Structure 1
Amino acid sequence: MKITLILALSCLMVYGNCKTINVSSASELNDAFSSAAPGDTIHMADGKYHGSFEPTKSGTSSAPITLTGSKGAVISGTKYGFWLKGSHWVLKGFTVTDSPKGIVLEGASNNILEDLEVHNIKQEGIHLRTSSADNILRDSYVHHTGRGNETDQGFGEGVYIGQAFHNWAGGKQDKSDRNQILNNRIGPEVTAEAIDIKEGSCCGVIKGNTFDGNGEKGLHYADSHIDVKGDSYDIEGNTGNHPFKNGFEIHHIAEAKMGGCKNTIKGNKCGGLPSGGKCVVNSSKDCENYIDN
């Protein structure tokens, strides 16, 4: 409440005409994306919003654009559920479902995603890519991803940070850096990793999350709660149960000559490990990582 009041006062002082836009249909939602200005709030009434949602406008650090609704405000997309290409947004409270991908941030930075539910998605639930940096995902619930065919199941991550190096646009490193994944529930029926951290990204925080590995398929080497190919990540205080194989894995990508270095993995708990499974496996032998268990 205090943060909301401070932002509202800041918006009024700087912009003078911040507004709340109430919507109840997909067309009204897209109209709101076109007209929204820094400091505005778009409020979705309960109901179904199906279409193509690709906002490109940005807020500011002192006056973000807010999209909010209850879990009864349900977005589904024809390509992605919600494809954000702007920065300084707050996405809060609503549901994204029945889409090829759930929420995709494309070159989108300084956004807050909180109290969201993402489920029944063909591939990954939430993807931060193309140098989407300094975002926070917190207090959200991602489950039932990888609902497509067997190929889709291999790409059914709960949260996906960055991109594999062979998918970098023009060979340019995907620096989806300093993202924070905090206090989320991921799983069950997330067919790939709960969180997949790709090479080229760095310096994020993965803390306080709960992973339910029931439903992991182990396809495309996706056999752990977290797969760490990025660098300098702090992965702390997470709890996982029933992974396909291991809890947390660190990998160096030899072909890209990078990844899996200077990460800290501590204070995590693993339950329901299969026979031969381990809580942490460090396959990155070319550089140092700190692991406490």
Structure 2
Amino acid sequence: AILCLSVLTVSTGKTIDVSTAKELLAALKDVSAGDVIALADGEYHNKFIANTSGQEGKPITLQGTKKAVISGYNYGFWLQADHWVLKGFTVTNSNKGIVLDGANHNILEDLEVHDIKQEGIHFRKNSADNILRESYVHKTGTGSPGFGEGVYIGSAVSNWEDNKPDKSDRNQVLNNRIGPNVAAEEIDIKEGSCCGVIKNNVFDGTGMSGENYADSWIDVKGDGYTIEDNTGEHTLLDGIQIHQIADANMGGCGNKIIHDKCKGTVKGKCVNDTSKTCKTKNIIEE
């Protein structure tokens, strides 16, 4: 089931109109709960970091049209805060697209992310209770195909801090279009994360590289996920793969994979469950 998150898009603050990268940098420093930063159409290139949090019922909103195009020296947009709404604009020409670190209760809506050297959107460092919806992610991994996921949730065990799992939990990925030309998986769910929802997305695996074992639309290494009513076409092997990660001694258990539709999986399966030792078994209904 889709989780009910306490993320409200009610704003009671001021509107800050920006039309240059310098103005956007200043707005990100001066913004307060309830404010709206309105992007004029145009190009914005710099190091954009948001680290001031909104509040429940008073999120901070950054919005624009697809002609408002953000790019960065490393990350296109780096969100390190809670209760934000990112809406409507484009992120491109960056090493990573949108990265959330320790960021909770945010909404990413109606965005376009493309021409990214590595992953398009990454929820990491215990970023929980976020929603990505109605967005279009394509042409990722242009510089590092094996690390060019469309959406990446959590962190691999090799990147855990102090050997503790990255609890990027309860994130929802809803009604998005991911692919074509996503070089790695459309969605990669890492070991240690839990209890998210992946629903009503459309995947196009055209352009999948096969590097770093990328041969399915979704890799599920987390636990307790609901993956439902997604549709995909063009994959190198399987539609959805479920894995347990030996080094983490966890992952790939208690997931519900329900009513997903796969086209073109002639070399593999729609859902390939490779987990062997789960106490809580995965539920698969095709």
Contact 2:167 2:193 in 1 (8 A): yes
**Where in structure 2 are there 5+ consecutive unaligned residues?**
1-7
Greater shift in the superposed pair: 206-215 or 265-274: 265-274
The normalised TM-score by structure 1 is 0.93
Residue of structure 1 in register with 2:277 after alignment: 286
Residue of structure 2 in register with 1:115 after alignment: 110
Letter in 1 for 2:75: Y
- Alignment deviations for residues 6-25 of structure 1 (CA, whole Å, 9 cap, x no partner): 823xx3xxxxxx10000001
Q: For 1:169, what is the secondary structure of its paired residue?
A: coil
Query: Of Structure 1 and Structure 2, which has the larger fraction of its residues in helix?
Result: 1
> How far did 1:260 drift?
0.2
d(CA) in 2 for partners of 1:209 and 1:202? 19
**Where in structure 1 are there 5+ consecutive unaligned residues?**
12-17
Please, which of 74, 77, 83 is the counterpart of residue 79 of structure 1? 74
d(CA) in 1 for partners of 2:138 and 2:10? 32
Q: For 2:49, what is the secondary structure of its paired residue?
A: coil
> How far did 1:255 drift?
1.6
Compared with structure 1, are the counterparts of its residues 272 and 6 closer, same or farther at alpha carbon in structure 2 (3 Å cutoff)?
closer
Letter in 2 for 1:113: L
Letter in 2 for 1:101: K
Letter in 2 for 1:290: I
Where do 1:248-263 residues align within 5 Å?
A: 248-263=240-255
Contact 2:172 2:198 in 1 (8 A): yes
d(CA) in 1 for partners of 2:165 and 2:268? 33
Aligned residues: 278
- Alignment deviations for residues 158-210 of structure 1 (CA, whole Å, 9 cap, x no partner): 00000001101222210000000000000000000000000000000000000
Contact 2:140 2:182 in 1 (8 A): yes
Residue of structure 1 in register with 2:4 after alignment: none
d(CA) in 1 for partners of 2:48 and 2:236? 34
Please, which of 122, 130, 149 is the counterpart of residue 127 of structure 1? 122
> How far did 1:128 drift?
0.2
Q: For 1:137, what is the secondary structure of its paired residue?
A: strand
> How far did 1:292 drift?
1.1
> How far did 1:272 drift?
1.4
Where do 1:62-211 residues align within 5 Å?
A: 62-148=57-143, 152-211=144-203
Compared with structure 1, are the counterparts of its residues 236 and 6 closer, same or farther at alpha carbon in structure 2 (3 Å cutoff)?
closer
Please, which of 15, 19, 26 is the counterpart of residue 20 of structure 1? 15
Letter in 2 for 1:272: G
- Alignment deviations for residues 221-274 of structure 1 (CA, whole Å, 9 cap, x no partner): 111000000000000000000111100000001121000000000100000123
Between the aligned residues of both structures, percent identity stands at 64
Query: Given the alignment of the two structures, is residue 7 of structure 1 paired with residue 4 of structure 2, yes or no?
Result: no
Q: For 1:33, what is the secondary structure of its paired residue?
A: helix
Q: For 1:103, what is the secondary structure of its paired residue?
A: strand
d(CA) in 1 for partners of 2:260 and 2:27? 42
Q: For 1:171, what is the secondary structure of its paired residue?
A: coil
Contact 2:9 2:59 in 1 (8 A): no
Letter in 2 for 1:120: D
d(CA) in 2 for partners of 1:28 and 1:144? 29
RMSD of Structure 2 on Structure 1 (CA):
1.2
Letter in 1 for 2:31: A
Contact 2:146 2:209 in 1 (8 A): yes
The normalised TM-score by structure 2 is 0.95
d(CA) in 2 for partners of 1:192 and 1:180? 20
- Alignment deviations for residues 118-146 of structure 1 (CA, whole Å, 9 cap, x no partner): 00000000000000000000000000001
